[in-house]
Every structure is written in structure tokens, then in C-alpha cells.
Amino acid sequence: MAREKTTGFYFKMSPLEWEWVEKRMAQTKIRNKSAFIRKMCIDGHVINLDMAGLNEIGRLLRITTNNANQIAKRVNCGGEAHREDVAEVNRQLTELRTDFGKLLDSLSALTNNKLGKAFVPPLTWRDLEDMQNENV
């Protein structure tokens, strides 16, 4: 449940400053203006995480656990574990470890200030002046 927000914080901006905010919102892919301004006021930066890798790991994990459960069910019912099936689960687990390692490396880069494309650096006053010059 979201915390109730009862305290307002209001200020005025020039049209150019508002354009600056809108550009930053577009870069961070945040569409809710209140959420964006709140995030910037509290944290001073926004980090975008591409979660596609995590979705792929989840998909592979579901496939692998399903295959392992089918092997276990077959063995528990008195059947045999076929070498090909066990080899396939091992291959899937190796792929999972590789993908999970890449994801951990990406997250580690975030914590080690090697933010790369995930970090949207703050604009400077020089950037604002450049924007003004573009609009002239």
C-alpha cells in the first residue's frame, strides 16, 4: 500500500526549466511528473534498470525446474532418469548460471559507480545554457 502523501511542495519554473525537466523525464522514462520530481528531490539521480535479463532468467528457471520435476516424478514412480534428460537439465542450469552471473556483474557495476547507460547524470547549468542557445 502506498504511503499517503498529504504535504505539498509547490514552486514555479521558467518555461526553459520546465523543458529541462521534461527532457530528463523522457531520458529516465518516468511519465509521472510528481514521482520524477519527488525522486530527484530525495535522491538527486535516477537509475534505469533494464530488467529484460531478469525476465529471461526467470523463464529459464521455470523451464529447468519443470524439467527437473518431470525427471523426479518419473524416478519416484519407479522409472529411470534418462541421460539425455539429465544432460538437458545440466545444460539449462549452466545457461542459467551464466545469465545470472552477467546480471550480477551488471548490478555490481551499479554499486561500484560504473553506472554506464543505466545512470542518467544530472544536467549542469552549462547544459541549461546550451538549451537556451538552441532555442534562440
Domain ranges of the chain: 15-49+118-128, 52-111
pLDDT at 53 over 50: yes
pLDDT at 135 over 80: no
What are 132's three cell numbers?
A: 537556451
pTM value? 0.46
What are 106's three cell numbers?
A: 551488471
In the chain the beta strands, taken as DSSP E runs, fall at: 46-47, 119-120
Q: How many Å apart are CA 82 and CA 60, to the nearest integer?
A: 21
Name which of 77-81, 93-97, 101-105, 128-132 the model is least confident about.
128-132
Q: pLDDT band at residue 125, thresholds of 50, 70 and 90? A: low
Name which of 9-13, 82-86, 124-128 the model is least confident about.
124-128
pLDDT at 1 over 50: no
Q: What are phi and psi of 65, to 5 degrees?
A: -65, -35
Q: How far is CA 48 from the centre of its chain?
A: 6
The answer for residues whose C-beta is within 8 angstroms of residue 67's C-beta and 6 or more apart is: 85, 88, 89, 92
Residue carrying the nine cell digits 523543458: 19
pLDDT at 112 over 70: no
Q: Which of 60, 81, 63 is nearest to 72 (CA)?
A: 81
- Mean confidence (pLDDT) of the chain: 80
Which range, 42-46, 110-114, 122-126, is most confident? 42-46
Q: How many Å apart are CA 112 and CA 56, to the nearest integer?
A: 24
Residue 48 · residue 118 · CB < 8 Å: yes
Name which of 8-22, 44-58, 62-76, 92-106 the model is least confident about.
44-58
Q: How many Å apart are CA 128 and CA 20, to the nearest integer?
A: 7
Residue 69's pLDDT is: 92
